[in-house]
Copies of this chain bind each other. A is one copy, B any other.
Amino acid sequence: MARETRDGETRVAMVPELVGRLTALGYEVVVEPDAGRGALHTDDDYVAAGATVDPAALDDADLVVSVQPLATHAARRLRRGTTTVSFLPVGGPSAELGLVADLRDLGVTSLAMELVPRISRAQSMDALSSQSLVSGYRCAIVAAGLLRRFLPLNMTAAGTVQPADVVVLGAGVAGLQAIATTKRLGAVVRAYDVRAAAAEEIRSMGAKAIELDLETLEGAGGYAREMTEERAARQRELLTPYIAAADALITTAAVPGRQAPVLVTAAMVEQMRPGSVVVDLAADSGGNVEGSVPGEVVRIGNAQVWGGRNVPAQMPGPASRLYAQNVVNLVALLTRATDDGRDGGDGGHTLDPDFDDEIVAGACVTHDGVVRHEPTRLALEGSAP
């Protein structure tokens, strides 16, 4: 397991609790010193779980797991044929095309967690979902903290205080979790998503589905697809009164590997009341709210606008736990039993990715000197000199 070196990354790819799962698969688990610190796991915790701690952990590894893509200098320490498992953005504003070219040239087999197909067999490996769950909860708690009023209805001897009105845009995993959490706290929650199927999910969480007189946009893998500028403008117009009436607005509409759509203009935020709060979970990928800044709270009109920046890293404990579980499940898929342990066999296992498997084929970016992810290969060739 590699130590994360990117600024602000507190998560880790393996937690002590799950080391035993990897050793059971036949792996010797070696951890870079201090690698767990961000998620409050000490080297001793890993040793107690059966791992060893070694500054040279990466040098002879068959398999390297991390949250963020390896830094180039770390990748260059890998042996030819090493497999890496991490997030590895290949599209959108944060695409890592230079690193992909390096991994290709180094003969590294790289698997990108965000490319794991969204099929039911791969649910337990879906790190985008598990991290979105963390983000969705966190942004609801952030909204409740910024909002200087009660979320729930309060009936007291001194009169009744009305519950807060919350609007959630985007009802994917993060949006639904934001809905669930603000509902738990007693807010009146309205939510909107461009996908038709979302209205039912929104209602199942106890929120009201905002229904606009617009065509729906169902895309691949349960994500929304992009829309025309005309539709986007009409959508903004129809959403304006809902946003103006909200005490808190939470936006969660991000599509992996793409620029986030601007759902809310600054002019729309300016119609909100004094004391309003906006939480833009998509600020990292361009922002659903015009003017939001990742990692900062800015003022637009009467509203405080919080821009998310690597939000899962704000809850490194559970985010790491869930990510590590995703990793373990993927690693199990990459591992083949060489002996069933009966008749005196050694019960051995070997790392042997099956590239005919839909999940492995989908997640693989580079292997054996070639870029196997087609759009990335085309992007690299397009950008080649």
Contacts and interface: CB of A to CB of B under 8 A. Distances in A.
A269 to B, nearest CB: 16
A318 B158 CA distance: 11
A148 B274 contact: no
A161 B316 contact: no
A150 B318 contact: yes
Interface stretch (A26-34, A88-96, A320-328): A320-328
Contact of A317 (B148, B181, B185, B322): B148
A157 B129 contact: yes
A161 B275 contact: no
A159 interface: yes
22 contacts: A40-B274, A124-B157, A124-B158, A125-B158, A129-B157, A130-B158, A141-B145, A144-B145, A145-B145, A149-B317, A149-B318, A150-B315, A150-B318, A152-B184, A158-B322, A158-B323, A161-B318, A161-B321, A181-B185, A184-B184, A184-B186, A185-B185
Most buried by B among A125, A274, A323: A274
Nearest to A134: B150
Interface string A150-165: 1010101111010000
A154 B177 CA distance: 10
Interface string A285-315: 0000000000000000000000000000011
Interface size band for A = 35 or more
A161 B321 CA distance: 8
Contact of A159 (B142, B158, B181, B325): B325
A137 B186 CA distance: 12
Contacts of A317: 148-149, 275
A130 B156 contact: yes
Interface in A81-134: 123-127, 129-130, 133-134
A329 interface: yes
A133 B141 CA distance: 19
Contacts of A137: 150, 152, 154
Nearest to A186: B184
Contact of A154 (B144, B158, B318): B318
B133 A154 contact: yes
Interface in A172-208: 181, 184-186
A315 B317 CA distance: 30
Contacts of A318: 149-150, 154, 161
A127 B157 CA distance: 10
B148 A314 contact: yes
Q: 7 closest Cβ contacts across the A-B interface?
A: A123-B157, A158-B325, A40-B274, A145-B145, A159-B325, A130-B158, A158-B322
B133 A321 contact: no
A40 B273 CA distance: 10
A146 to B, nearest CB: 9
A326 B154 CA distance: 15
A234 to B, nearest CB: 33
Given A133-B154, A158-B323, 20 more contacts: A124-B157, A124-B158, A126-B158, A129-B157, A129-B158, A137-B150, A137-B154, A141-B141, A141-B145, A144-B145, A145-B145, A148-B314, A148-B316, A148-B317, A149-B315, A158-B325, A158-B326, A158-B329, A159-B321, A161-B321
